[in-house]
Amino acid sequence: MASYKELVEFVAKNLVTQPDEVSVESNDSENGVKILIRVSHEDIGRIIGKRGATINAIRLLAKAAAVKAGERVDVDIVED
């Protein structure tokens, strides 16, 4: 299994203004891999992007990385 968590974490840390606040969790489920991103409250807009364009691009990258292995990856943002 590829490290989708590291891929998403790398992208997220390079997008935000407070990279030390980025936390990425990976959970295996029956449907595939679930990745949860936590960022500081000020950086949520940077991760989501206009009309969700940035988070959709992150999701697309993770799914493209999973295609060759035949796996499924879901990426979500956790708001605290």
Four-CA torsion 37, 11, 62, 42, nearest 10 degrees: 30
The pLDDT assigned to 31 comes to 85
Structure tokens at 75: 């990426």
The answer to whether domain 4-77 has CATH 2.60.40.1120 is no
CA distance 60 to 74: 10
Query: Over the stretch 18-74, which tens digit does the pLDDT of each residue have?
Result: 999 999 999 998 889 999 999 999 999 999 999 999 999 999 999 999 998 899 999
* Domain map (residue ranges) of the chain: 4-77
**What is the residue whose two structure tokens read 């029956």?**
30
Does residue 2 carry a pLDDT above 70? Answer: no
The pLDDT assigned to 13 comes to 95
Beta strand 32-38 with 73-77: parallel, antiparallel or unpaired?
Answer: parallel
**What is the residue whose two structure tokens read 């590291």?**
6
